[in-house]
A and B are shown apart, each in its own frame.
Chain A
Amino acid sequence: MLENLLTIVFSTDFFASSIRLAAPLLLAAMGDVVSERSGVLNMGLDGMMLLGAFFGFVGAYFTGSVWLGVLCAMLSALILGIIHAFSCVTLGLNQVVTATGINMLALGLSSSLLRTFFGTSTNALRSVGFTPTKVPVLGDIPIIGKILFNQTILVYVALILVPLTYYVFFHTTWGLKIRAVGEHPRAAETMGVNVFKVRWIAVLYSSTMCGLAGAALSIAGLNTFIDNMSAGRGFIAFACIILGKFNPWGVAIGAVVFGLAEALQLRIQAVGLPIPYQFPIMFPYLLTLVVLFLSGVGLTPKAWGSPYLQDEE
């Protein structure tokens, strides 16, 4: 049975599915890293992903269009983002507590609305979903083409975001502003940067991307929604940001590692190794903890988690 597992693990299929499973984490983390860099701690990303996954499914189910599903996913998460930004940026309130409320709200909304819209039997629900699109030329490269370029569009978006986010952070004025606001908001303001505006935009962007990540969970293969579908993936994405030291490339490596872990645990269950199924399911969470522990706490944005209060201090 072990050889069985080994042949499966070292197949292009396995790596392709790792990338596919890493995509939601990657999308959420690439969005959220912008918010974190601007100094706003956003731990509501699990809830934002969850609500996005739900409304992505609802949109796709009722309209029959994946793109309208994506739109619904992004808009629903955006509403949570507005709450977060209003509470944490405008009112300058506790970012962790607000996020806890947001996570709770998303869980309550998605579970109740699921039953309100579809009744109690949710077994046979299927919406339309994204299907893999082969990238011309690149998709024909042996091995790599199959792993990276035979995926859904959401995966491509996730992959492109990595260099793009890095470029914006370190090679554009916008990136400089975001980082400045996260390091030393007062200094940034003296230089003429509107701290509130930058932080609002950063939070709204991150929530929208979390919504997209949610859509990548629900309508990019499974094409259904189940209670608490995000299952803590938002927290894993958040962990990726910490262990990637707030650098998009580092964050991406983290996300891909967890994609591999997820793919591995699914394979272990499928092959039927004589391990109780709970251990493979536990594996990604455990791995996150261990990697987090090993990588330690690096440099964080200096104004991380503290609200900017213009006229107090």
Chain B
Amino acid sequence: MSSKISLEDKTQTTKVGFNWASLIKILTPALGILAGALVGSIVIVAKGVNPVTAYYYLLEGAFGSLDNFTASLIKSIPLGLTGLAVALSYKAGIFNIGCEGQLYLAAVGATVVGTSFAGLPSIIHIPLAILAGALLGGLYALIPGILKAYKGFNEIVITMLMNYIAIYFVSYLVQGPIKMPDQFYPQSAPILESARLPFIIPGTRLHAGFLIVLALAVLLWWVFNKTTFGFQIRGVGLNQRAMEYGGTNSKQLLVKVMFLSGCIAGIAGAGEILGVHMRLLENFSVNVGYDAIAVALLADLNPLGVLLSALFFGSLRNGANSMQISTGIPTAFVTIVQALAVLFVVMSAGLPRILKKWRRMKANA
């Protein structure tokens, strides 16, 4: 399958001039979100609610108080991490839509380590638990990575199918082997105190995973822009064959990238267990791995941009809860806004082509 991927016609934007290009880059996702919110209003109106009221409750729920705002931040953490995972893989031209499954498996790793080794100091126990999650996520992503790089399989179908398998597998584990005995609900034993992520703002539940996303985003930005590895990633994403001529082993690179991408998605899963739920549950995370695609695409795969768009989607998810309570508008509404924003951003990349075609038609007439 051909996977020449570029979200944007680079030659077009550079011609417009530097300032314009960067302005457009920022404006496009903002307009996309706005368009999504506007079209999404149809659903609100269908429910018989005034869109302004609905959006007021949404914003209030997302930012209205310190508690609400930290809740938004907490929701943004896994979105940011998986968003980075998608951005990393897609930069290299391989589309990891398996974050959902990688996140779920990683949660198992983090739980197993986090519930054993009593007596270990936090400074060792926490990294160990996160590492276990990252590793499981990475290994699970390795399978589609190898199949894509060396056998040419379509990674999207494979990661998608693997998501379902992982989620059911975790459900089996929680109801069976790692279910806490004498418990009615299917859940694991609680994570030991020594493996729990500390809260970084006193009085709130904002956990240290927040610092991890920030650090990883900066790291990834640095890798993309300042290192040879990052150059190779971008190169393979743009033109695999040219990079092969230049001496890059693109297959190996794709496998590495996929592994790292899975690791990052794994950290997201570990963070949810060690910082939010403190035990493994069934369906502890809903569609984060898919929302990550929107997060990454809206940020144009820029790691620092991922932080912003993750914050946006995290707030949206959080605010949607209070909107649902106050107005009865279902939270799934968020997914519509998200999808429309993605489609808008994607399609806006085709605008220059349409304009060109139109101009030529006018010139011929």
Tell me whether A194 is interfacial, beta carbon within 8 Å.
no
Q: Known contacts being A93-B350, A276-B176, A279-B172, is A112 close to B43, with CB within 8 Å?
A: yes
Tell me whether B342 is interfacial, beta carbon within 8 Å.
yes
The smallest C-beta distance from B100 to any residue of chain A, in angstroms, reads 11
Tell me whether A94 is interfacial, beta carbon within 8 Å.
yes
Chain A interface, number of residues (Cβ within 8 angstroms): 53
The smallest C-beta distance from B281 to any residue of chain A, in angstroms, reads 15
Tell me whether A132 is interfacial, beta carbon within 8 Å.
no
Q: Which residues of B contact A98 (CB under 8 A)?
A: 343, 346
Tell me whether B53 is interfacial, beta carbon within 8 Å.
no
Tell me whether A139 is interfacial, beta carbon within 8 Å.
no
Partner of A306, one of B2, B6, B152, B163: B2
How many residue pairs, one in A and one in B, have C-beta atoms under 8 Å apart? Answer: 156
Tell me whether B124 is interfacial, beta carbon within 8 Å.
no
A242 to B154, CA, bound (A): 9
The smallest C-beta distance from A300 to any residue of chain B, in angstroms, reads 7
Q: Known contacts being A104-B290, A116-B43, is A285 close to B2, with CB within 8 Å?
A: no
B353–A108 CB distance below 8 A: no
Complex interface bits, B162-193 against A, C-beta within 8 A gives 1, otherwise 0: 11110011011001100000000000000000
Interface size class of B (residues with CB under 8 A): 35 or more
B151–A296 CB distance below 8 A: yes
B158–A292 CB distance below 8 A: yes
B156–A96 CB distance below 8 A: yes
Q: Known contacts being A242-B154, A292-B158, is A104 close to B339, with CB within 8 Å?
A: yes
A43–B332 CB distance below 8 A: no
Tell me whether A278 is interfacial, beta carbon within 8 Å.
yes
Partner of B347, one of A87, A111, A289, A305: A87
B157–A231 CB distance below 8 A: no
Dominant SS among interface residues on chain B: helix
Complex interface bits, B54-76 against A, C-beta within 8 A gives 1, otherwise 0: 00000000000000000000000
Of A21-29, A176-184, A233-241, the one with at least 4 CB within 8 A of chain B:
A233-241
A108–B343 CB distance below 8 A: no
Q: Which residues of A contact B154 (CB under 8 A)?
A: 238, 242
Most chain-A Cβ atoms within 10 A of its Cβ — which of B46, B161, B350?
A: B161
B43–A297 CB distance below 8 A: no
Q: Which of A281-313 contact B (CB under 8 A)?
A: 281-282, 285-286, 288-289, 292-293, 296-297, 300, 304-306, 309, 311
B343–A116 CB distance below 8 A: no
Q: Which residues of B contact A286 (CB under 8 A)?
A: 161, 165
Most chain-B Cβ atoms within 10 A of its Cβ — which of A91, A101, A239, A285?
A: A101
Q: Known contacts being A97-B297, A116-B46, is A276 close to B330, with CB within 8 Å?
A: no
Q: Known contacts being A94-B5, A292-B153, is A101 close to B147, with CB within 8 Å?
A: no
A94 to B297, CA, bound (A): 12
Most chain-A Cβ atoms within 10 A of its Cβ — which of B4, B43, B160, B360?
A: B160
B347–A232 CB distance below 8 A: no
A305 to B168, CA, bound (A): 32
A107 to B287, CA, bound (A): 11
B342–A101 CB distance below 8 A: yes
Partner of B330, one of A90, A112, A304, A311: A112
Q: Which residues of B contact A288 (CB under 8 A)?
A: 161
A300–B294 CB distance below 8 A: no
CB nearest to B291 among chain A residues: A104
Q: Known contacts being A87-B347, A96-B3, A292-B153, is A278 close to B335, with CB within 8 Å?
A: no
Q: Known contacts being A93-B346, A297-B152, is A276 close to B172, with CB within 8 Å?
A: yes
Closest 8 CB pairs of A and B: A91-B350, A108-B335, A111-B332, A108-B336, A105-B339, A104-B339, A278-B172, A115-B330
Interface residues of B (CB under 8 A from A): 1-7, 43, 46-47, 95, 97, 147, 151-154, 156-158, 160-165, 168-169, 171-172, 175-176, 287, 290, 293-294, 297, 329-330, 332-340, 342-343, 346-347, 349-350, 353-354, 357, 360
